[in-house]
Amino acid sequence: MKRNNMSLSDYTAVLTLQETGSFRAAAEALRMSPSALSRHISALEDQLGTRLFDRDTRNVRLTTSGAVLARIAARMVHTAQDAYAEFDAHLSARHGQLTIAGLPSVTAAFLPQVLRRFTSKYPDIDLKIIDALSDSVIEVIETGRAEIGFTAGTLSTRSRLAFQPVMDDAFVAIGAPEGPLQEDRPYDWSELVEMPFIAMAQGTSVRELLDSACLRLNRPLSPRFEVAHLATAGALVAEGLGITALPELTLPILPTERLVQRSIIGFGARRRIGLVRQTGRSLSPAASAFLEVLLETPVKAKPSPVGVPVKESE
């Protein structure tokens, strides 16, 4: 005798018949014929080996066993309804979790603008932000620890990730107010590389573009200091130990009240910021909702009080 394979429709039929007390009314509620419902209940009684309802020409009443099953059926139906509601909330992005990875300059600069609109529209989605260097962003996307990420540059042709450009990030020169950049004017890139230079470490997206710009001058970059973190670069520049060139998105990370920025002539490159995700993998409703908000948000770096307004790099 099999008693462990009752379906949700079985539980629903028992509850509906209990509530209506009539095969005709219950069948109408269940959108089936009275005879079909009668056969359904009879088959369920045969399966369970016990009578669930006493019925005569006018009345349908639960037996003792039927009452026990009705209490169980109520719990099962309510649990199913809660589960359906939870899944519906997931599909509509009303609830859920989303992990986003990104370069520190991205997570500190334009991402908060997007998140402000996203959390206003989807207040019950929990967010986790992983700020890391470019290689680490790629790694957490590839391993699935984050669903979407923001990084710079392009991806290897062997990568199983898709790269969608979001914005171009122009470079500006950064210096101390009384340092080599004290003149309020644009500076040629060939001038800047002759000054004491503080450069980001090899392997960063910023350093790759700096080295490329130097190659166009047919001279290698010879930094006075080489650092791994933007905050360190900003602190050294603020102490008058040299100048640097950084993308505009990095400016909110720097001690801007102690620095000036100047536009660069002849740098010849911008850092391309893009969204990365795994190819061939469907996005969760929460991630899809985030992308919709991203596309609706005018993405730009926060304005910075450093020096003069930034002009387009030539």
Cα–Cα distance for residue pair 148/154, rounded to 1 Å = 15
Q: Is 216 part of a structural domain of the chain?
A: yes
Q: Which pLDDT score is estimated for 301?
A: 47
Q: Please, which pLDDT band fits residue 91 given cuts at 50, 70 and 90?
A: low
Question: 137 and 258, same structural domain?
Answer: yes
Full domain range(s) for residue 37 = 8-84
Provide mean pLDDT across the span 143-156.
Answer: 84
Question: 76 and 115, same structural domain?
Answer: no
- At residue 301, φ and ψ (nearest 5 deg) are -70, 150
Question: 236 and 202, same structural domain?
Answer: yes
Per-residue pLDDT for 202 more than 50?
yes
Provide mean pLDDT across the span 29-47.
Answer: 91
Cα–Cα distance for residue pair 203/92, rounded to 1 Å = 40
Provide mean pLDDT across the span 144-150.
Answer: 92
Question: 231 and 109, same structural domain?
Answer: yes
Question: 226 and 155, same structural domain?
Answer: yes
Q: Please, which pLDDT band fits residue 311 given cuts at 50, 70 and 90?
A: very low
Cα–Cα distance for residue pair 56/54, rounded to 1 Å = 7
Per-residue pLDDT for 303 more than 80?
no
Question: 272 and 131, same structural domain?
Answer: yes
Provide mean pLDDT across the span 229-233.
Answer: 90
Question: 148 and 270, same structural domain?
Answer: yes
Cα dihedral 106, 112, 117, 121 sign:
positive
Who's near 39: CB < 8 A, 6+ residues apart? none
Q: Which pLDDT score is estimated for 94?
A: 67
- Tell the residue number behind the tokens 């509601």, with chain if given: 85
Report which of residues 195 and 87 the model is more confident about.
195
Per-residue pLDDT for 116 more than 50?
yes
Question: 181 and 52, same structural domain?
Answer: no
| CATH number of the domain within which 53 lies | 1.10.10.10
Q: Is 118 part of a structural domain of the chain?
A: yes
Per-residue pLDDT for 98 more than 70?
yes
Per-residue pLDDT for 155 more than 60?
yes
Cα–Cα distance for residue pair 127/141, rounded to 1 Å = 15
Per-residue pLDDT for 178 more than 80?
yes
Q: Is 140 part of a structural domain of the chain?
A: yes
SS3 percent helix, strand, coil of the chain, rounded to 5, is: 45, 20, 35
Specify the range with the lowest mean pLDDT, choosing from 82-96, 179-193, 298-312: 298-312
Domain boundary among 58, 84, 110: 84
Mean pLDDT of the chain: 85
| CATH number of the domain within which 250 lies | 3.40.190.290
Question: 101 and 76, same structural domain?
Answer: no
Per-residue pLDDT for 78 more than 60?
yes
Q: Is 307 part of a structural domain of the chain?
A: no
Q: Which pLDDT score is estimated for 256?
A: 79
Per-residue pLDDT for 309 more than 50?
no
Per-residue pLDDT for 313 more than 50?
no
Instruction: Evaluate whether 140 touches 107 at the Cβ level (below 8 Å).
Output: no
Question: 80 and 162, same structural domain?
Answer: no
Q: Is 139 part of a structural domain of the chain?
A: yes
Cα–Cα distance for residue pair 86/212, rounded to 1 Å = 51
Q: Which pLDDT score is estimated for 224?
A: 94
Q: Residue 248 has what DSSP assignment?
A: G
Highest mean pLDDT among 78-82, 171-175, 306-310: 171-175
Q: Is 309 part of a structural domain of the chain?
A: no
Amino acid letter, residue 64: T
Q: How many domains does the chain have?
A: 2
Question: 174 and 29, same structural domain?
Answer: no
Q: Which pLDDT score is estimated for 90?
A: 65
Per-residue pLDDT for 149 more than 80?
yes
Question: 129 and 14, same structural domain?
Answer: no
Instruction: Evaluate whether 27 touches 96 at the Cβ level (below 8 Å).
Output: no
Reported as a single tens digit per residue, the pLDDT across 253-294 is 888 788 999 999 999 888 889 899 998 888 888 898 899 899
Q: Is 305 part of a structural domain of the chain?
A: no
Q: Which pLDDT score is estimated for 135?
A: 82
Cα atoms found within 13 Å of the Cα of residue 7, Cβ hemisphere only = 7
Report the percentage of the chain scoring pLDDT > 70. 89
Q: Please, which pLDDT band fits residue 188 given cuts at 50, 70 and 90?
A: very high
Helix (H) or strand (E) holding 225: strand 225-227
Task: Look at residues 85, 53, 80 and name the one whose alpha carbon lies nearest to residue 69.
Answer: 53
Cα–Cα distance for residue pair 287/138, rounded to 1 Å = 17
Per-residue pLDDT for 22 more than 50?
yes
Q: Is 183 part of a structural domain of the chain?
A: yes
